[in-house]
Amino acid sequence: MLVDSHCHLDFPELSARLDAVLGAMAEAEVGHALCISVTREDFPRVLAVAAAHDHLFASAGVHPDYVDVADPSVEDLLALADHPKVVAIGETGLDYYRLQGDLEWQRERFRRHIRAARECRKPLVVHTRSAAADTLRILREEGAADVGGVMHCFTETAAVAAAAMDLGFMISFSGIVTFRNAKELREVARAVPLSHLLVETDAPYLAPVPHRGRTNEPAFVRHVAEEIARLHGTSLAVVARATTGNFFRLFAQAIPVAGAAEPSDADPRTCMTGASS
């Protein structure tokens, strides 16, 4: 079984056909998924999706891109995280790509998320874009290594990945790793050991090859895992076991569904499909 470590099942592109999305996920042998919060206002919707399904989990946080939304205090985040289905704090972090000007508010928001994570002992889900140096600096300054987490939808360098792993963070790759123009990122993915690797969709965005241009969904994380397997010269079954084990070690409060079977090396569906490079 695979785990989609980062998706947005509450977004309208997926919530409107959730039963079909979950059915396709099961057919693709994706056993669990983490539903990520991006605003305080939408958190109840995220939690409702996770609470209704044993194999789904939730996070609590406010994305760094969102400006005109409720900006949570540490206490707010702790209150949101006080639910057994909430296994992580985030999505949080820094994004200097989309926003310009004085972004100190974004850095302060990030610090509050780290402080909440440390207090409730739940790992962080970190977004970073065009802000790697500040992201790593703040993680160090705020003691994020105490709880660890995941650098989601990773597109940075191998040096940034190594620095994050030194802080106890997993590195998660999305469908971007299958894109034709992602040669450098594939080299990073090859360098990250399976012991520190997760896979994700970031659905409904970033559908992998061969589904580019379509609405992404958790079932498609299989293509990401196949590409990781190709890069590491191993089987999908090995990647599935490694990334699923990593997920449940990192998100220790996530309870796996009993009896979820791992794919067999002999299962023809574990053959790599040769995603486009």
For 192-244, what is each residue's pLDDT tens digit?
999 999 999 999 999 999 999 999 999 999 999 999 999 999 999 999 999 99
Convert 108-123 to b/e letters by CB count within 10 Å (16 or more is b): ebbbbbbbbbbebebb
Q: Is residue 186 part of a domain?
A: yes
Q: Is residue 275 part of a domain?
A: no
pLDDT of residue 155: 98
Q: Is residue 231 part of a domain?
A: yes
Q: Is residue 276 part of a domain?
A: no
pLDDT of residue 196: 98
Q: Is residue 61 part of a domain?
A: yes
**Segment holding 148, helix H or strand E:** none
CATH code of 89's domain: 3.20.20.140
For the chain, give the percent of residues with pLDDT over 90: 91
The total number of structural domains that make up the chain: 1
Reported pTM: 0.93
What is the torsional sign of CA 164, 203, 105, 88?
negative
Structure tokens at 160: 């940034």
Q: Using an 8 Å Cβ cutoff, are 5 and 150 in contact? A: yes
pLDDT of residue 260: 55
Q: Report d(CA 123, CA 214) in Å as an integer.
A: 31
258 — pLDDT class (breaks 50, 70, 90): confident
Domain that holds residue 167: 2-270
Q: Is residue 123 part of a domain?
A: yes
Q: Is residue 154 part of a domain?
A: yes
Q: Decide: residue 154, CB within 10 A, 0-12 exposed, 13-18 middle, 19+ buried.
A: buried
Q: Report d(CA 272, CA 223) in Å as an integer.
A: 9
- Nearest in space to 224 (alpha carbons), one of 198, 193, 262, 252: 198
pLDDT of residue 95: 96
